[in-house]
Amino acid sequence: MSEACLTYASLDQGLTPLTNAARWLVAFSGGPDSTVLLHLLHSWCRAHVEEAPALLAVHVNHGMQAESQSWQAHCEQVCTGWDIPLIVCPVTVDVAGQGPEAAAREARYGAFEAQLNTGDILFMGHHLDDQVETYFLRLLRGSGLKGLSAMPARRALGEGELIRPLIDTERHLLERYAGEHALNSIDDPSNRDTALDRNYLRHTVLPLLAQRWTGYRQTVARAAEHAASSQLVEDECVPLPATVFSVLGDPGIEQKELNGVSVDVAMIKLRRWLRCGDYPMPDRVLLTEFLRQLRHSAAGSSPRLECSSFTLQRYQNSIYLLPVFTDSPVQTLRIGEVCEIPGLGELSLVRSEASGLLLRDGDTLELRWRQGGERCRPRGRPYSQRLKKLFQEYDVPPWWRERVPLLYLDDQLLAVGDLWLCETDRLCSQSIGEAGVWQLCWQRKPTAFD
């Protein structure tokens, strides 16, 4: 794209093949970059009325700053003036376990994804200077090829696709365009706070680089392209491990996927698999030690890799992602109710056409957790056994053995999750009077690999 000027016609080559999209949506923060992008696309659509899809703007209100409502009002005013429909998405930013910038980004992309239908395109205003900043930030964090690939010009997002049409355009061209068209935009004071890493790079480090290497932006962009190409080769040459599931649905991979190859290849395999679940990449030192333990520890041991947002643990011959449990007291369950337990999912009672529990509308059952010493005689067995033995027999992973919900009525154990019905006077194969036959339905919390 020529540096002489930036016009909507500059986007012809990239936009013309996208006119069969269902809708064009623009991520509109109200800042300079997204304002320029929205104006460019608005102008392009007016010049191509016959073929241009419907154009909409999407504003995410993070609610993190005092000016959030005035910024939203500014975006509404701009879109009203340009006759562009605006979708406003208020979000709650959860900073637990991550910094505010990362948490806001996660909330923002979640909101964008929720707005995209099949065939929609979301345009974002990232430009070449953003790309360079992202590359350096990831380089300084020790990122691998995936991270050093920086931001792709296009990728899938939810049901639609994300496209960055200005990714090869320098910031000063956008600034010039905004001046030429007298575009008003939001001035976010946090963008000048050099305590933030990106701002420190932008205002302090990169101007120094520009003094000595005037073409550093294009050079860094090429380095990012080389990293992206190498990542593609790596993905083609190192097969993605197949996902296996424990008897209670924990996703994992078989350890044999990591055996017989170098530590570096094993690391690539495990990281590729984690990426499929959108998990952050673990520290190389921690991952190297985890792989060493997997290879050299005794067969019955349980090496663990604990990261800030997930835990991996070996059980038998596979490595599983552990669920996240929270403390939960004893809870009651009645016919017609749904009991939601964090980390476990939803439990309810459903009618059974086969054997089940003979229950009446007034029966109040309790959901408890294993304390030790509980026994159950599974349906069809001649004798009872401790739950500990049954869990071992059925390969229930250790981390579940204290969290499988136990269904009680008047201190009598009726069912162990949805694994077994116990032989009791409530076990029946047909309704009797007002009592119907029911079974415990356990809808487990889905994982990223389901």
User: Residue 434: what pLDDT?
Assistant: 65
Above pLDDT 70, what percent of the chain? Answer: 98
Task: Say how far apart CA 27 and CA 313 lie, in whole Å.
Answer: 39
Phi, psi of 354 (to 5 degrees): -115, -150
Task: Say how far apart CA 130 and CA 156 lie, in whole Å.
Answer: 20
Q: What is the DSSP letter of 192?
A: G
User: Residue 321: what pLDDT?
Assistant: 95
Average pLDDT of span 402-419: 94
The runs of H, that is alpha helices, within 201-347 are 206-212, 216-237, 263-276, 284-296
Average pLDDT of span 4-18: 92
Average pLDDT of span 259-279: 92
Task: Say how far apart CA 52 and CA 15 lie, in whole Å.
Answer: 9
* Mean confidence (pLDDT) of the chain: 92
Q: Does position 154 have pLDDT exceeding 90, yes or no?
A: yes
Q: Does position 1 have pLDDT exceeding 60, yes or no?
A: no
Task: Say how far apart CA 253 and CA 242 lie, in whole Å.
Answer: 6
Q: Does position 3 have pLDDT exceeding 60, yes or no?
A: no
User: Residue 2: what pLDDT?
Assistant: 42
User: Residue 432: what pLDDT?
Assistant: 76
For 159-205, write each residue's pLDDT tens digit: 999 999 999 999 999 999 999 999 999 988 888 889 889 999 999 99
Task: Say how far apart CA 254 and CA 399 lie, in whole Å.
Answer: 18
User: Residue 97: what pLDDT?
Assistant: 63
How buried is residue 13: exposed, middle or buried, by Cβ count under 10 Å (0-12/13-18/19+)?
A: exposed
Average pLDDT of span 414-437: 86
For 361-406, write each residue's pLDDT tens digit: 889 999 999 999 999 999 889 999 999 999 999 999 999 999 999 9
Six token digits for residue 122:
């979301």
Query: Facing residues of 339 across strands?
Result: 347
For 55-97, write each residue's pLDDT tens digit: 999 999 998 888 999 999 999 999 999 999 999 999 988 876 6
pLDDT band of residue 4 (cuts 50, 70, 90) is low
User: Residue 260: what pLDDT?
Assistant: 86
Please say whether the structural domain 244-321 has been given the CATH code 1.20.59.
yes
In the chain, CATH 1.20.59 sits at 244-321
CA distance to 88, 246, 394, 403, 419, per residue, from 397 (Å) = 44, 7, 9, 11, 13
Right CATH number for 8-190 from 1.10.1740.10, 3.40.50.1950, 3.30.420.40, 3.40.50.620?
3.40.50.620
Average pLDDT of span 270-296: 91
Task: Say how far apart CA 318 and CA 250 lie, in whole Å.
Answer: 11
Estimate the crossing angle of helix 128-140 against helix 216-237, to 10 degrees: 60
Query: Facing residues of 306 across strands?
Result: 311
In the chain, CATH 3.40.50.620 sits at 8-190
pLDDT band of residue 446 (cuts 50, 70, 90) is confident
User: Residue 352: what pLDDT?
Assistant: 86
Name, of 39-43, 139-143, 326-330, the range with top average pLDDT: 39-43
Q: Does position 112 have pLDDT exceeding 70, yes or no?
A: yes
